[in-house]
Structure 1
Amino acid sequence: MRRGPLVLLPAIPILALLSAVWLPFVNTRSLWLGMPRLFVWCSVWVMLITPTLFVVDRDRRRRLSLATTDIGTGAASTGTASTETRSAAEPRR
């Protein structure tokens, strides 16, 4: 199965975190919201990692369901859904 361009989305927060110490407007002694700029910068990007991973996972699940259902085409399933591990509490969609 081909990966979509959204797989690269989590790279944005990671690059922002890794480049924080070299960005002159972030790595200074002044404050944002009463806290050091570097602390605020890193906190915001860490909080943005979860929504980006959610978007990537949502897209992956959508692509997986489209690949395995193939309604009306008669195409065979790719078989990737059966190899995916699911917990007992997670409902099937």
Structure 2
Amino acid sequence: MHEHGGVGPAPASRPDPGARSSMRAFHVVLLLPVVALLGTPFFPFVNSATPWFGLPSVVVWVCAWCVLTSLLLAWVLRREERAGLIGDDDPGEAEAAGGEGSDADPLDSQPDPARPAVDGAGDSAGPEGRA
């Protein structure tokens, strides 16, 4: 038996209505690429027979929105960092410094006793290979 008194899985917890949501007004900007790309078949200026820059207009439209989406995501990321919604630290820096985010095994830096040591001259033949 579970704490909720049932035999099956516990019911999903509902979010606290008083809890503050991390959704901000600037996140609405991310709906622009969604609407633009899903609406592509319905926009007459995109589905025209006139080429844009020598390419079909739909190709130029989709490529332009791919670039704009990347720029919008970078802008939203910067706004989230400024608003304190996410940390502005780089996980790559933590790994290089051996911080909390590092998955490196501290034993990897120690020599393996099963491996023969290599001397400075590059000769690893061992005592039997030396004259």
TM-score normalised per structure 1: 0.67
In the alignment, structure 1 residue 23 sits paired with structure 2 residue 43: yes
- Report how far residue 10 of structure 1 moved: 1.3
2:91 aligns with 87
- Report how far residue 86 of structure 1 moved: 5.4
1:61 aligns with 81
Instruction: Specify which structure has the bigger relative contact order, considering alpha-carbon pairs within 8 angstroms and separated by 6 or more residues.
Output: 1
Q: Give unpaired runs (5+ residues) of structure 2.
A: 1-19, 95-131
Q: Count matched residues.
A: 75
> CA-atom RMSD, angstroms?
2.7
Higher Cα Rg, which structure: 2
In the alignment, structure 1 residue 49 sits paired with structure 2 residue 53: no
More helix by share: 1
Which 4+ runs in 1 deviate beyond 3 A? none
- Report how far residue 29 of structure 1 moved: 1.9
Percent identity for Structure 1 against Structure 2: 26
CA distance in 2, matches of 1:32, 1:63: 39
More strand by share: 1
Q: Give unpaired runs (5+ residues) of structure 1.
A: 66-79
Residue identity opposite 2:52 in structure 1:
W
CA distance in 1, matches of 2:74, 2:45: 29
1:13 aligns with 33
TM-score normalised per structure 2: 0.49
